Structure 1
Amino acid sequence: MNLEKLYQIFCQSAGVCTDTRKLEPEQIFFALSGPNFNGNKFAAKALEEGALAVVIDQSEYQDASSDKYFLVPDCLKALQALATHHRRALGLPILSLTGSNGKTTTKELIAAVLSQKFNLKATAGNFNNHIGVPLTLLSFTAEHNFGIVEMGANHQGEIAELSAIAEPDYGFITNFGKAHLEGFGGIEGVVKGKSELYRNIAARKKTVFVNGDDPKQMELTENIDRVVIGAAMLGYQLTLKATNPRVIFSLNELPIESHLIGQHNAKNIRAAIGIGLHFGLSPQQIKTGIESYNPENNRSQWINKARNKILLDAYNANPSSMEATLESFKALSSEAPKTVILGDMFELGPTAAAEHQAIADLAHKLGFDRVFLVGANFYGVEARQGQIKCSEYEDLVVALQQQNTAGHLLLIKGSRGMALERILDIL
C-alpha cells in the first residue's frame, strides 16, 4: 500500500466514510467487511455517488481503467494506518482514556473543560473501538490543537491495539470495574487489559493522570510519569460539598455546580477538574466547562414526564455501575416514593447469576418502594418482597400498567441491549 499517496488524496478529500448510505461527496470510501457484509461490493456505487477514491481489499471489485481504486491487503488495517499517519502529521497533543465505568461521561466533562482553552475535537458518542478510534483521529484537522480519544474494550489486547493506533501523549483510566468479565476473564483480566494504556504510555515516555485514591492505579503507575488527581493539586484545594441532589465542588472556595448526581460522578468531575488544572485553565474556566455539561444519550439523564421525574441511565450497565447508581439514587433527598427498573447486565460469563442476585439483594437492602427486574438473567434471581420479575420487555410493559407509579421518582438502568428507554413512552 502506498500510504503517502493515499494520505495526499485524504488531505484533498472531505474525510472518510465506511458506509455508502452516509457517504458525502469527495470522501474516501473504505470497503470494510464483516461476518455479514462485504464493503467491496459497494465500491463502484461509492464512486457513482461522488466518492473521491475507494479503498478495497478484493481485486475482483477493482476497475483497472480507473485510478480511483486503492487495492490494499486489508481495508481495516489501511484505515488504521492512515489514521496513525494523520495523527503524526498533525502532531497535536492527544489524551486517551478508558475504564470500566464512566469513560464517556468523563470524556465529555474533560472536553467541556478543555474546550474553554483549546480548539479541541473529541470522540463522538462512543466511537471507541478498532473502527471508531481511527475515524476519530481522521476527523482531526489542522484547526484543532487538542484531541481526546475514548477507547473501549471487552477483551485483553484491544487497548494495546488502540493505543498503538492513537499514540496518545496523555492517558487516563477512570476505574477498574466488573465490566465485560466474560471477555476479560475476570476482574484480574480487566485490570490487565485496561492498564495496557499505561504500558503504551510508559514505553513512549508520556504522561498518565491517576486517581490518587485508587491504590491499584497508584501501584501500576509507580514508574511512569504521572499526575495524581486528588484534593490538593497545583496549589488548589478541591473539596466535595454535595452529591445530593447534584454534585457540587469547591475549588479554592469557588463553587462548581454540576448537573450530575452521585459519588461515582463526583469522581468523574474531579478528574475533569484535575486535568483542567494541569493544562493551565483557571478555576473560572473549569467552572464554566463543568456547569455547561448536561448529560444526554440515556446517560445519567433527568427526564420530566407528566406523571414522574425519571433518572434515565440505560446506555449501559455492569455490576459496578449498577451498584453505584442504586446507592446514589437511594441517597437522593425526595419525599416521593422511589421505584427502580433494572435490566439485565451483559457479558458477565459464569458470574452472571451471582452478580444479578447480588444486585437484586442490594436493591432490596436499600429499601426502594418498588423494584422491577427485567430480562432472562434477572428473571432467574430469587426475588425479594416488593420485587417484580419480568422475563422480557413486554412483561415489563404489562407490569407497569398494573402498578400505579404516578408521582414516583424513577430510575431506569440496564445494558444497552435491553433498550429500556423504550419504556418512557408509557410512563
Structure 2
Amino acid sequence: MKLTALYKLYSQHFLVDTDTRNIRKNTLFFALKGDNFNGNTFADEALKLGASFAIIDEKQYQTNPNIILVDDVLETLQQLAKYHREQLKTPIIGLTGSNGKTTTKELINAVLSKKYVTTATKGNLNNHIGVPLTLLSMTPKTEIGIVEMGANHLKEIEFLCAIAQPDFGYITNFGKAHLEGFGGIEGVIKGKSELYSYLESNHKTAFVNPKDERQIANTKNIQTVLFSENLNFKAVNPFVKLEFNTISLQSNLIGKYNYTNIAAAITIGTYFKIPATEIKNAIEEYTPTNNRSQILQKGTNNIVLDAYNANPSSMKAALENFAELKENAKTVILGDMFELGKESLQEHQNIVNLAATFNFDTTLFVGENFYKTATNKLQFKTFEALENYLIKKPLEQQSILIKGSRGMRLERILKIIK
C-alpha cells in the first residue's frame, strides 16, 4: 500500500497503537517486533479488539482483508509519522540533553497548555519508536507539539529531527550519560548537538541558557532566544524558589539543578505569550511523578526518590543538592549507573569519593559496579543483599536520598522502609 493511501486510513481517526493490551477503537495497529515478541502474531487479535486495520510485514499473518502487508512495519510507522508531520504544519519544539529532558518537557507542556492545545511526548517515549508515536498522536487540533528526543549513539538525534522537523529546539545540558554509546563526553556533545545542526541548516530557532558557555558556543550560527535576564534563583529547601518579572514562584521540584528546567519553561512560555501569572500557576501546580525527584514520607522517614535514572552528572547534582538540605539525619542509598563503558569503574569511584566529602549519617552503595569501588562505606553487590540489611536495620527518622539507574529499580526500597 502506498503511503498516501495508508495516511488516508490513519487520518480518519488519527489513532495508532502498537500494543494489543491498550487497543483503541478504530485505531491502526502497527505490528512491531522486539527481542521477545513478534507483533505480527497479534494482528488478528488487534482487529477483534477494535482496530480498523493492522499493519504487518510477514505475509503468513495476512489472514484478513483489513491486515495490510508492508516491507517493514517500523519503517512504515516512521514514514507515516514524517508525512503526518509535514501535513500538520504545527509548530513543534524538540528537546534533548543528558539530564532533565522529561521534567523540562512536562514543565513546558504545563505552561503552554494554559493557552494552547498541546500534544507532548508521553513519559519518556523519546526514541525511534516513541517519537513517531508522539507525532502520530497529534491531530489537526494540536496547536503546539512538544517532542522529547533521546539518544545513546551518534546520528540518532539527526534521524529523529528528520522525522519530527522541529521549528524550535532546546538542549538541557551536555553531561556524562551514555558514554559507552557516544564514546565519551565529546561524543555526547556532538550527538546532542545534532539538534542544533538541524536548526541551523533549516533556519529554525534555539532556546538557550546564556549561563551555559557550551550551549552559547554551539549556537553562535543559529537564531536564538535566551533565558530572560529577569529570572532570579532564590533558594532550595527543599523546593526550588525563584522570581521572574517581579513574580515569586515556589515549585514542587527539588534541587538547584531544576532551576534551569523551570527557567526553560518560563522562557518558552514567555516567547509564546503565556501571561506571567499563568506561567506561575502552571509551574506551581506541576508535581513530579514516576520516581523523578519525588518527595515521599514513609513512617518516620522523609524520602527523596530519584530512581528513574542516573548518570555521573545527575548523581553529582543530586548529592550536592541533598547535602545542602537543612535536615538533621541523612541517609544516602546509591545504585549503579549504566552505559558508561570503559569509564564505568572510574565514574563510580568518583561518586564514592564525592559522597565521602559530605557528612551523611549513612551511605549505602548497591550494584556490581559500586561493589568494585574502594570505600569504607557499606557496599552490597545485589539488591537482595541491601534488602536483607535494611530489614535487619530499619531506617528511622531519616531524610533519605534514593538514586540509581532505571535498571536498578531502587523504588523497590519503598516496600522495605516502614
**Normalised by the shorter chain, which TM-score bucket?**
over 0.9
2:243 is the counterpart of 1:250: yes
Query: Is the CA contact (8 Å cut-off) linking 1:375 and 1:391 kept in structure 2?
Result: yes
User: 1:39 is matched with which residue?
Assistant: 39
User: 1:165 is matched with which residue?
Assistant: 163
User: 2:323 is matched with which residue?
Assistant: 330
Tell me whether 274-283 or 126-135 shows the greater mean CA deviation: 274-283
**1:91 CA drift (Å):** 1.3
Match of 1:379 among 371, 379, 390: 371
User: 1:292 is matched with which residue?
Assistant: 285
User: 1:6 is matched with which residue?
Assistant: 6
Distance in 1 (alpha carbons) for counterparts of 2:282 and 2:50: 39
Q: Show structure 1 runs of 5+ residues with no match.
A: none
Query: Is the CA contact (8 Å cut-off) linking 2:14 and 2:137 kept in structure 1?
Result: no
**1:213 CA drift (Å):** 1.1
Distance in 1 (alpha carbons) for counterparts of 2:330 and 2:35: 44
Query: Is the CA contact (8 Å cut-off) linking 2:296 and 2:305 kept in structure 1?
Result: yes
SS at match of 1:249: strand
2:299 is the counterpart of 1:309: no
SS at match of 1:259: strand
SS at match of 2:11: helix
Query: Is the CA contact (8 Å cut-off) linking 2:14 and 2:136 kept in structure 1?
Result: no
User: 2:213 is matched with which residue?
Assistant: 215
User: 1:362 is matched with which residue?
Assistant: 354
Distance in 1 (alpha carbons) for counterparts of 2:50 and 2:116: 34
Query: Is the CA contact (8 Å cut-off) linking 1:14 and 1:26 kept in structure 2?
Result: no
Query: Is the CA contact (8 Å cut-off) linking 2:14 and 2:138 kept in structure 1?
Result: no
2:83 is the counterpart of 1:85: yes
User: 1:99 is matched with which residue?
Assistant: 97
User: 2:179 is matched with which residue?
Assistant: 181
**1:330 CA drift (Å):** 0.7
Within 5 A, what are the aligned runs for 1:27-426? 27-63=27-63, 66-230=64-228, 232=229, 237-334=230-327, 336-384=328-376, 387-426=377-416
Query: Is the CA contact (8 Å cut-off) linking 2:31 and 2:56 kept in structure 1?
Result: yes
Map Cα deviations across residues 82-141 of structure 1 (whole Å, 9 max, x no partner).
Answer: 111112222111101000000001111111111111111111111111111111111111
SS at match of 1:401: helix
**1:69 CA drift (Å):** 2.6
Give the share of equivalent positions with the same residue, in percent: 54
Map Cα deviations across residues 22-71 of structure 1 (whole Å, 9 max, x no partner).
Answer: 222211111112333222222222223332111111223223xx442322
TM-score by length of 1: 0.95
SS at match of 1:377: helix
Tell me whether 212-221 or 341-350 shows the greater mean CA deviation: 212-221
**1:12 CA drift (Å):** 1.7
Give the partner amino acid of 1:352. S
**1:306 CA drift (Å):** 1.3
Query: Is the CA contact (8 Å cut-off) linking 1:31 and 1:39 kept in structure 2?
Result: yes
Distance in 2 (alpha carbons) for counterparts of 1:245 and 1:53: 50
TM-score by length of 2: 0.97
Q: Show structure 2 runs of 5+ residues with no match.
A: none
Aligned in 2, Cα 1:422/1:404: closer, same or farther, shift over 3 Å?
A: closer
Give the partner amino acid of 1:127. L
Distance in 2 (alpha carbons) for counterparts of 1:275 and 1:400: 44
Map Cα deviations across residues 263-307 of structure 1 (whole Å, 9 max, x no partner).
Answer: 211111111111111111222111011101101100010001112
Map Cα deviations across residues 356-376 of structure 1 (whole Å, 9 max, x no partner).
Answer: 111011111012110010000
Distance in 1 (alpha carbons) for counterparts of 2:302 and 2:191: 38
How many equivalent pairs are there?
A: 417
**1:404 CA drift (Å):** 4.6
Distance in 1 (alpha carbons) for counterparts of 2:245 and 2:136: 39
Give the partner amino acid of 1:252. N
2:19 is the counterpart of 1:19: yes
Distance in 2 (alpha carbons) for counterparts of 1:298 and 1:256: 23
Give the partner amino acid of 1:30. F
| RMSD over equivalenced CA pairs, Å | 1.3
